[in-house]
Amino acid sequence: MTQSRTTRLQCLSQAQLYVLIDGGFSADEFGRRVSKLVAAGVDILQLRDKTLDDRSQLERARQLRELTAATRTLFIVNDRPDIALLSKADGVHVGQEELSAQDVRQVIGPDRLIGVSTHTIGQAYSAVAESADYIGCGPTYPSGTKQFASFPGTAFLRQVVREIHLPAFAIGGISAENLPDVLRTGFRRIAVSGAVTRAADAVTAVGQLLDQLRAESQ
């Protein structure tokens, strides 16, 4: 369903819950997990796995594309514009040490989305200047899936709400328990990993997060 840039941007504009997932233990396990998350209403799924070799990562990416193709769930590849192109992903997400948004655009062309991780308001402005389609903002809290030296926290989120007019997802250690504090900053979009992937019931976890996000958006 998400083929044209216009459609991708429409889906992005409505997206509130973004979930980062790894490639799992097997293709079968990965497929079952993705199917459940899509059915539960996750708006964006990002494939982020630093342990898979290139061929395995491409295999998972193509599988993820197949599972999301007829849905409104956007599929993003972390760091790898080449794998995004080969798997027909909806876009690429890069950090501050990876290729710039401008360079990624040269690789993936005009139709796919580009997201950029930002940790300061200066980086957020740079992402806007480089025509990123959305930004990730954080880390907000300590995370169980990624280590950070510092945490800009909710003060950074408030600054982004005031100054940046681009779809922005709060990221870093966000859970159902601390989400109310994030929502008080004015953010209505979050990106999570462990809050869903490490939950006893991922579908229930997705439902709880979406309920909180949607209640604040009404």
| Secondary structure (H, E, C), 91-105 | EEEECCCCCCHHHHH
Tens digits of residue pLDDT in 33-50:
999 999 999 999 999 999
In single-letter form, the type of residue at position 136 comes to G
Q: Is 182 in a helix, a strand, or coil?
A: helix
Buried-exposed string 17-33: b where 16+ CB fall within 10 A, e elsewhere: bbbbbbbbeeeeebbeb
154: nearest Cα among 144, 145, 162, 146 = 162
Distance CA 178, CA 38 (A): 24
- Given a cut of 60, is residue 1 above it in pLDDT? no
Q: Tokens 């600054």: give the residue.
A: 159
Q: Tokens 């973004």: give the residue.
A: 18
pLDDT of residue 160: 98
- Given a cut of 70, is residue 102 above it in pLDDT? yes
- Given a cut of 60, is residue 67 above it in pLDDT? yes
pTM above 0.75, yes or no: yes
Q: Tokens 């958006």: give the residue.
A: 217
CATH code assigned at 195 = 3.20.20.70
Q: Given the DSSP bridges, would you call strands 74-78 and 44-47 parallel, antiparallel or unpaired? A: parallel
Distance CA 27, CA 117 (A): 28
Can you give the residue range of the structural domain that contains 131? 5-217
- Given a cut of 80, is residue 204 above it in pLDDT? yes
pLDDT of residue 217: 78
Peptide bond into 139 cis (omega under 30): yes
Tens digits of residue pLDDT in 71-94:
999 999 999 999 999 999 999 999
**How many domains does the structure of the chain reveal?**
1
CA dihedral 213→178→197→138, nearest 10 degrees, is 90
pLDDT of residue 143: 72
